[in-house]
Amino acid sequence: MSSEKITVTVRLVRSFEHRNFKPVVYHDVNVNQSVKEFLSFLQNDVSSKPGLPPPFRKHTYDTLKIIHQAHGAKTNDLVVSLDNDDQLILKETSTLKEAGVAHETEMAYFKKEDYETYKTNPVVIW
């Protein structure tokens, strides 16, 4: 199995309502690893990443969703699009490549429960 390496941006979303997120760039990501393996890597990395404010390090994340592909259309939503969950939320059993993750893909990493709550009432608080 070849180890195709790509660069991705993972947007750590702490709060949808407050638009509280922080982008983190990852280089040399193997697209042939499973989404589950990448989630596990992110969990470990985020909790110990130097320079990341404690509220982001301590937050619970469990879901990845593709926000933007390089050279593709970009969403008007400021944090994450609420559309196409069935295609854009990554399934743990897929590889990143099978899930559609390519070089320079931007993904949101968030707690699914928070996302579902926000979807029922997508109000932004300033």
pLDDT of residue 121: 86
Element (H, E) at 58: helix 54-58
pLDDT of residue 77: 56
Per-residue pLDDT band for 124 (boundaries 50, 70, 90) equals confident
- What's the pLDDT tens digit per position in 24-71? 999 999 999 999 999 999 999 999 999 999 999 999 999 999 998 765
Residues 12, 46: contact at Cβ < 8 Å? yes
pLDDT of residue 76: 54
pLDDT of residue 72: 59
Instruction: Please report, for the chain, the start and end positions of each structural domain, with discontinuous segments joined by +.
Output: 5-117
- What's the pLDDT tens digit per position in 57-113? 999 999 999 998 765 555 555 567 788 899 999 999 999 999 999 999 999 999 999
**CATH code that applies to domain 5-117:** 3.10.20.90
